[in-house]
Amino acid sequence: MTATAAQPRTWFITGASRGLGRAFAEAALAAGDRVAAVARTTDALQALADAHPGRVLPVTADITDRAAAFAAVDAAVARFGRLDVVVNNAGILSAGMVEEFTEAEARAQMEVNFFGALWVSQAAIPVLRAQGGGHIVQVSSIAALGGFPSTGLYSASKFALEGMSEALAMEGVGFGVKVSIVQPGGYWTDLYTAMRSSTPLEAYAPLRAELEKQWAEGSVDSEPRLAAEALVTLVDAEEPPLRLLLGSMVYDLAFDIAKQRMATWSAWEGVSRAAERAVPAPATAS
């Protein structure tokens, strides 16, 4: 549904104070819509609210707190009367080899990237169901295409997000609720500058050196504005896809990984098929 002067859409965007979330909010407002902009601290959102009187609701919330996520959704509905687009964008990146993560570090990664999105989705679904429709957009990552050295826990959080979201899409379709998973490549945000790191183990020094060599040329990323333009195109679509890749690099990588997996599955087809032979249910002892 495209916004009109008579019927602007209401967006609910987490992590809206900076990076992709801020770009998404600005794009929604440029389209004539309204935005409930959610962040842990909303000081940076005040200028946006001042520039768009009555169309921006800054909401201070820690979405890892389930009650806070539900309260944030309630506040948006109380202010605007409905929700049309819910964007689970808030996320953090924790870097380190899998062995290096403490329990607290691993749980923190999952709390934001998976549980935060889960709580917001749970809070939004009853609203969208009662309305007879709406669109939930889950911002995933290139890291959900596969696991990579030093970002294993980040990948795990995004894999979990995508598995949950696929099920959510099938559960919501009967109520007119659409779900899309967006997989961005590199954008100039503070995801990497705000990155958390594990305490390195000496055993991984050679691998770290090799990774640093690969990254030595630096990142050539894109403006968040381009991702925001793609997001508006996505939510404007009558039949939005379940998945949308953002960027040529992530697009090409997705196909490369899929081809590699298919080749492996094919090579091991005989073993796979031999592991299945249907038999009647075992008789139970009387």
Residue 188: predicted pLDDT: 63
* 198-214: pLDDT as tens digits: 999 999 999 999 998 88
CA distance 157 to 153: 6
Query: Could you say which of 94, 158, 178, 187 is catalytic?
Result: 158
- Average pLDDT of the residues in 222-235: 93
Closest C-alpha to 138, from 36, 14, 30: 14
* 251-267: pLDDT as tens digits: 999 999 999 999 999 99
Measuring CA to CA, how many Å separate 142 from each of 26, 67, 186?
23, 30, 8
Residue 6: predicted pLDDT: 57
pLDDT band at 5; cut points 50, 70, 90? very low
* 8-30: pLDDT as tens digits: 999 999 999 999 999 999 999 99
Residue 1 has pLDDT above 70, yes or no: no
Asked if 56 and 34 count as a contact pair (C-beta separation under 8 A), the reply is yes
Query: Could you say which of 150, 154, 157, 180 is catalytic?
Result: 154
Angle between helices 224-236 and 19-30 (to 10 degrees): 50
CA distance 260 to 185: 20
Residue 173 has pLDDT above 70, yes or no: yes
Per the listing, tokens 């081809």 go with 259
* 77-133: pLDDT as tens digits: 999 999 999 999 999 999 999 999 999 999 999 999 999 999 999 999 999 999 999
DSSP string for 140-160 = --GGGSS--TTBHHHHHHHHH
Provide CB contacts within 8 A for 158, sequence distance 6+.
Answer: 113, 140, 141, 143, 144
Closest C-alpha to 15, from 52, 42, 50: 42
Measuring CA to CA, how many Å separate 256 from each of 157, 166, 220, 253?
22, 22, 20, 5
Query: Could you say which of 121, 140, 157, 180 is catalytic?
Result: 140
Known catalytic residue at 286 = no
Known catalytic residue at 251 = no
The one-letter amino acid at 79 = R
Known catalytic residue at 140 = yes
Q: Which domains occur in the chain, in start order?
A: 10-248 (3.40.50.720)
Higher-pLDDT residue of 69 and 216 is 69
CA distance 118 to 88: 9
CA distance 91 to 89: 6
Dihedral through CA 263, CA 267, CA 270, CA 275, nearest 10?
-70
